[in-house]
C-alpha cells in the first residue's frame, strides 16, 4: 500500500505539472509576476534605445523628483519605469485617442471659389476726337478716319474698339440703316459713332488701327466695300 501510495503521489505530481505547461524533468513554470517583470524590462530596453525623452511632450519631472506621464496621469520612480510605461497598452491607446482628437481639431483649408469684381473707375468725361470723311480716288471707296485723343489714359492700357448693331443699343430708336463704332479706354467714357450699316472692307490696308503712346492718339481707318449698300 505504501508503494502504491508513492506511485499515486508521483502520478498526481506529473499530471499537475503537465496541466501547467511544464515537462517532466524541467525546472517548472515561471510565475506570471516574473513574466511581467521580464516583459517590462525588455520594453524598457527597447524604449531607451528608440525614445528621446527631451523630445517627449508627455514626460515631466515633478518637484518631488518623480516622473509623470502627462498623457496618462501616471507616476514613475525613474526614467526606465516611464519608458517601459510608454510601450504599454494604456499609453499607446491614449496616444491613438489624442492623435484622433488633434486631427478633428485641426482646421482644414477649404478652397473657395474666387469671385472677380468689376473694377470701378471714376470717369473723367469724353475724349476729344476728330472724324475725317475721305474717298479713294482709284477705287472710289468711301473711307472714314477716326482720331480719338486719350491724354490721361490709365498707365499700361490701350484703347479698344468694336462694332455694334442698331439692335444692341438702347439709346436711339432702332434704325437698321446704321451701325455704331465704339471706342473705350479708362478713365474716359465710352463713345460711339453712328455710321452707315455697310460692309467694311477687311482686306489688307483697308482697315487699320494704331495707338501712339507718345501723342496718346488712337486711330482707326476703315473703307466700306464699294458695292455694299
Residue recorded with cell 515631466: 60
pLDDT for 61 equals: 87
Count of alpha carbons within 13 angstroms of residue 76, beta-carbon side? 21
pLDDT for 189 equals: 92
Of how many residues is the chain composed?
229
pLDDT for 38 equals: 75
Q: What is the pLDDT of residues 160-170, one digit of tens each?
A: 999 999 898 88
Q: Would you call the peptide bond into 187 cis, given omega within 30 degrees of 0 as the criterion?
A: yes
Cell, residue 105: 481639431
pLDDT for 64 equals: 84
Residue recorded with cell 470723311: 133
Count each helix (H run) and each strand (E run) in the chain, helices first. 4, 10
Other CB atoms within 10 A of residue 36 CB = 11
Query: Which parts of the chain register pLDDT below 50?
Result: 1-22, 26-27, 106-110, 112
DSSP symbol at 171: S
pLDDT for 229 equals: 61
Cell, residue 29: 513554470
What is the rounded CA–CA span in Å between residue 131 and residue 51? 86
CA dihedral of residues 164, 167, 170, 173 (deg, nearest 10): 120
Task: Report whether 69 contacts 81 (CB < 8 A).
Answer: no
Cell, residue 49: 534605445
Amino acid at each position: 500500500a505504501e508503494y502504491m501510495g508513492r506511485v499515486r503521489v508521483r502520478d498526481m505530481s506529473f499530471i499537475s505539472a503537465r496541466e501547467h505547461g511544464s515537462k517532466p524533468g524541467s525546472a517548472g513554470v515561471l510565475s506570471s509576476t516574473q513574466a511581467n517583470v521580464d516583459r517590462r524590462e525588455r520594453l524598457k530596453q527597447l524604449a531607451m534605445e528608440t525614445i528621446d525623452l527631451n523630445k517627449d511632450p508627455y514626460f515631466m519631472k515633478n518637484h518631488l523628483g518623480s516622473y509623470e506621464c502627462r498623457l496618462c496621469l501616471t507616476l514613475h520612480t525613474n526614467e526606465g519605469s516611464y519608458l517601459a510605461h510608454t510601450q504599454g497598452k494604456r499609453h499607446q491607446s491614449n496616444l491613438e485617442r489624442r492623435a484622433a482628437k488633434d486631427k478633428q481639431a485641426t482646421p482644414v483649408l477649404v478652397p473657395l471659389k474666387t469671385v472677380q469684381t468689376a473694377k470701378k473707375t471714376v470717369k473723367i468725361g469724353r475724349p476729344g476726337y476728330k472724324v475725317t470723311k475721305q474717298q479713294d480716288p482709284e477705287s472710289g471707296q468711301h473711307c472714314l478716319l477716326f482720331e480719338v485723343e486719350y491724354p490721361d489714359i490709365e498707365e499700361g492700357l490701350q484703347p479698344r474698339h468694336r462694332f455694334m448693331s442698331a439692335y444692341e443699343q438702347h439709346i436711339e430708336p432702332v434704325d437698321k440703316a446704321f451701325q455704331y463704332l465704339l471706342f473705350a479706354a479708362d478713365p474716359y467714357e465710352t463713345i460711339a459713332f453712328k455710321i452707315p450699316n455697310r460692309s467694311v472692307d477687311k482686306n489688307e490696308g483697308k482697315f487699320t488701327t494704331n495707338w501712339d503712346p507718345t501723342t496718346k492718339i488712337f486711330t482707326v481707318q476703315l473703307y466700306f466695300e464699294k458695292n455694299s449698300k
